[in-house]
Amino acid sequence: MTIDRRQFITLSGLSLLAACDSRGPKSAEKFLRYAERKNEQLERALFRHTSIDVPPAGARLTGDALPSYFISKTVPIWDESKRGPWALEVGGMVDRPQKLTLKNLLDLPRTHQRVNHYCVEGWSAVEQWTGVRLRDLARLAGAHKGAKYVDFESFDDGYHESWDIESALHHQTVVAYGLDGRMLGPAHGAPARVYSPTKLGYKNTKYLTRIMFLPNRTGGYWSDQGYEWYAGV
């Protein structure tokens, strides 16, 4: 399944025309965009910080059966010899821009959460994440009230996804460096990645490098290709 979505994109260089055709006429495109906007409004109205994801009782951790996704040709690995030590930048509309090393992250208040993973493809998994709540990072950096969106950037070939601020500050939204009790491996976004059960998997940027608090939405890798931008669960 890892390949399927990516393979499709690789192939769509060729089949772009066909894909456009299959999306129907311009008026249909308008109708679909309109529906997406309306759906987003409804979903944002439904959103509650108090809605918490709870995995099914007795569900086992998915562990190694969790697929790994990235858009680079090979597993993205941070090469310290070329790029220097990895650090997570927190910037944009903030009072105190941050540059956090992995050690800095580990020293921040730590949270463990066992949650569901909802993939756009329809599968689900159960994982245990260890990391720092994004709301703690926002507080640390002093994010401004006017920051309505957050962009999560990565070193995975330009992959990024932007979010609405409410979902980003949900208390199950974390910058995770641990998975299932171990440090995050390169297959799942090491050294750190975003994870929140309130968003579909593709919104959760792996191989994280920068968190930007912004006044406007900035799209995203999959959202720019036609997947829902909001992608709330």
Partner 1 sequence: MAKRRHHWIVRVTHWVNVVALTIMIGSGLQIFNAYPRFARRGETFCCYPWEGTPVPSWATFGGWLAGARNWHFAMMWVLVLNGLIYIAFIYLHGEWRDLVPRKGFFRDSWQMTRFYLFARKDHPVQGKHNALQRAVYFLMPWVALVIVVTGVAIWKPVQLAPLTNLMGGYVWARYWHFMSMVVLIILSLIHIFMVFAVDPYSLRAITTGGYNEENSPEARNARPFQNLLPNRFRKKRTTPAPASQ
Per CB under 8 A, residues contacting partner 1 are 1, 4-5, 8, 12, 18-19, 21-23, 31-32, 34-36, 38-39, 43, 46-48, 51-54, 56, 59-60, 62-67, 116-126, 197-198, 222, 225-228, 232-233
Shortest spacing between CB 45 and partner 1, in angstroms? 10
Q: Which residues pair with 99 in a beta bridge?
A: 89
How far, in Å, CA of 144 to CA of 73, rounded?
37
**Full DSSP string of 105-165:** HHHSPPEEEEEEEE-TTS-EEEEEEEEEEHHHHHHHHTB-TT--EEEEEESSTT-EEEEEH
Q: Which residues pair with 187 in a beta bridge?
A: none
Shortest spacing between CB 18 and partner 1, in angstroms? 8
Shortest spacing between CB 198 and partner 1, in angstroms? 5
Tell me whether residue 27 or residue 81 sits nearer to partner 1 (CB atom): 27
Please say whether the beta carbons of 213 and 169 come within 8 A: no
Tell me whether residue 51 or residue 216 sits nearer to partner 1 (CB atom): 51
Shortest spacing between CB 103 and partner 1, in angstroms? 32
Shortest spacing between CB 94 and partner 1, in angstroms? 27
Tell me whether residue 53 or residue 89 sits nearer to partner 1 (CB atom): 53
Burial of 54 (0-12, 13-18, 19+ CB in 10 A): exposed
Tell me whether residue 47 or residue 78 sits nearer to partner 1 (CB atom): 47
Please say whether the beta carbons of 78 and 200 come within 8 A: no
Tell me whether residue 56 or residue 181 sits nearer to partner 1 (CB atom): 56
How far, in Å, CA of 208 to CA of 104, rounded?
15
Please say whether the beta carbons of 168 and 134 come within 8 A: yes
80: Cβ–Cβ under 8 A, 6 or more apart, which residues? 86
Tell me whether residue 42 or residue 77 sits nearer to partner 1 (CB atom): 42
Shortest spacing between CB 55 and partner 1, in angstroms? 9
Shortest spacing between CB 230 and partner 1, in angstroms? 10
Tell me whether residue 1 or residue 14 sits nearer to partner 1 (CB atom): 1
The closest alpha carbon to 135, from 126, 147, 127, belongs to 147
